Amino acid sequence: MSKMQNGSAMPDERGYFGEFGGRFVPETLIPALDELTAAYHEAMADPAFVAEFNQLQATYVGRPTPVTYARRLSETLGGAQIYLKREDLAHTGAHKINNALGQALLAKRMGKRRIVAETGAGQHGVASATVSSLLGLDCHVYMGSVDIARQQPNVFRMKLLGAEVIPVDSGSRTLKDAINEAIRDWVTNVRTTFYLLGSALGPHPYPMIVRDFQSVIGIEAREQIQALAGRLPDVCIACVGGGSNAIGLFHAFRDDEDIELIGVEAGGLGISSGQHAARFADPDIGRPGVLHGTRSFVLQDADGQILNTHSVSAGLDYPSVGPEHAFLRQSERAFYTYATDEEALNALKLLSQTEGIIPALESAHAVAEAIKRAPAMSKDSIILVNLSGRGDKDLDTVMRELHL
């Protein structure tokens, strides 16, 4: 159990984190969510399940992932010392595998051999396809056609891994619409199918399950930074789309009240442009609502219709956010800001050229916030950035945007 968060007081039995969360789905799915909740608690109480998960995390995913001291980046910025939690070094190149592995083991335990998943950037799709291949499950990934076009390498990887990639042409043709289609598939095939949801959102128990499987990030990082820097960080920074890498990092530091927890949303072309995915930054359109089964902050128009979002990074291009983040913000335990497309691209370039690490565009948003903050902080202060994924998948986009 040491490498997984479990038994946290949140959420409550109905899946609420304060006033956020819950289960707003059609009746057909309620029994499936009840079954999943029961199976999850049973599995987590079974030492054999936990041992299998930890064993595969060590021998297949490659955990623990290291924490790297970013010496040249820190020196360049001239302030705080920056450390990177290297989820980019996990198998498949992002933190998504932690949750995909946990849920796939759960699916197998529940006797559900058909997996449906949604994906934005393709990282969760690749992770789902990977663990399905590992465990002999039949994997179907819904992906918006806009995202298919901008994340071609991941589409091919999923196919190579034996998954079926199903293009989604409804709505904005991005992550939001892929989730709609995955839920429609699940509601149709609910008796045989496990919905492998990739972020800390959706109806209860998903936000809890995803958080618990991702909590390994923060648990490891907390030990590693103490070993490396001799103390805990002053600031933890992570990007927030649905928010799974951020919640996975934050949880281990939640009770350290002196440590600032900062989530970075996608500022797109800037908040005033309206072309962004910053749910917390724009009170005119980002307000509490219900989307995809959970009550959280949602980008919506005056009539409650969900707005299309924009981000250079497909993984952050989503109009809602995990309910626990809404709670952490409201309770002022975490603080949320944003980085624009341009800031993220510049951060990607700077990290590549100072540290030899090409981050995913999503993770580059977190790096951008570290770049903004570090110069004003003292040299003995510490920033821990969750480098949630690697940038190989984004090279097409980056080549178009950065002229080298």
Partner 1 sequence: MSQMTRTETGLDAIAAMFARAKAENRAAFLPYYPIGFPGYDDSLAAIEAMAAEDVDGFEIGMPFSDPLADGPTVQAATQKALENGITVSRCLDAVRELRARGVRQPMLMMGYLNPILSYGIDRFAHDAHAAGADGLIIPDLPPEEGAIVAAACAREGLGLVFFLAPTSSDERVALVARQATGFIYVVSLTGVTGARDHLPEYLTQFIHRLRAHAGDVPLVLGFGISTPEQAQRLHGLVDGFIAGSAMVKAGAAGTDAVRELARSLRRAR
Of the candidates 181, 265, 388, 393, the residue annotated as catalytic is: 388
Q: Which stretch binds partner 1 (CB under 8 A): 55-63, 115-123, 249-257, 298-306?
A: 298-306
Alpha helices in 215-270 (DSSP H): 216-229, 244-250
Question: Which tokens sit at 174?
Answer: 């991005």
Residue 133 burial (CB < 10 Å; 0-12/13-18/19+)? middle
Q: Is 187 in the site for partner 1 (CB under 8 A)?
A: yes
- Report the distance separating Cα 238 and Cα 291, nearest Å: 23
Task: Give the shortest CB-359-to-partner 1 separation in angstroms.
Answer: 31
Give CA separation, 384 vs 235, 246, 256, 306, in Å: 6, 12, 14, 34
Q: Does 207 bind partner 1 (CB under 8 A)?
A: no
140 is an interface residue for partner 1 by CB under 8 A = no
257 classed as catalytic: no
Positive or negative: CA dihedral 280, 283, 288, 290: negative
Q: Report 324-363 residues binding partner 1 (CB under 8 A).
A: none
Does position 143 bind partner 1 by CB under 8 A?
A: no
Residue of 85, 96, 108, 112 marked catalytic: 96
* Strands 382-387 and 81-86, bridge-based pairing: parallel
- At 60, list the tokens: 């297949």
Residue of 9, 48, 136, 191 that binds partner 1 (CB under 8 A): 191
Instruction: Find out whether 178 and 167 touch, Cβ atoms under 8 Å.
Output: no
Of 171, 254, 330, 349, the residue at the interface with partner 1 (CB under 8 A) is 171
Q: Show Cβ contacts of residue 252 under 8 Å, excluding neighbours closer than 6 positions.
A: 5, 215, 217, 218, 219, 221, 222
Residue 389 forms beta bridges with which residues?
94
**What number of chain residues touch partner 1 (CB under 8 A)?**
37
**Member of 110, 135, 166, 290 binding partner 1 (CB under 8 A):** 290
Active site (annotated) includes residue 96: yes
List beta partners, residue 300: 306
Known catalytic residue: 118?
A: yes
Nearest approach, Cβ of residue 275 and partner 1 (Å): 17
Shortest separation between residue 190's beta carbon and partner 1, angstroms: 5
Does position 274 interact with partner 1 (CB under 8 A)? The reply is: no
Question: Tokens at residue 228, please?
Answer: 């490396």
Pick between residue 27 and residue 258 the one whose CB is nearest to partner 1. Answer: 27
Does position 210 bind partner 1 by CB under 8 A?
Answer: no
User: What is the pattern of x (binds partner 1, CB under 8 A) and - over residues 27-56?
Assistant: xxxxxx------------------------
Strands (E), 257-347: 260-268, 286-291, 294-299, 334-340
Residue from the set 2, 59, 272, 305 that interacts with partner 1 by CB under 8 A: 305
Q: Which positions lie near partner 1, rule CB under 8 A?
A: 14, 22-32, 170-171, 176-177, 180, 183-184, 187-191, 288-293, 298, 300, 302-306
Q: Any idea which residues carry the catalytic annotation?
A: 96, 118, 388
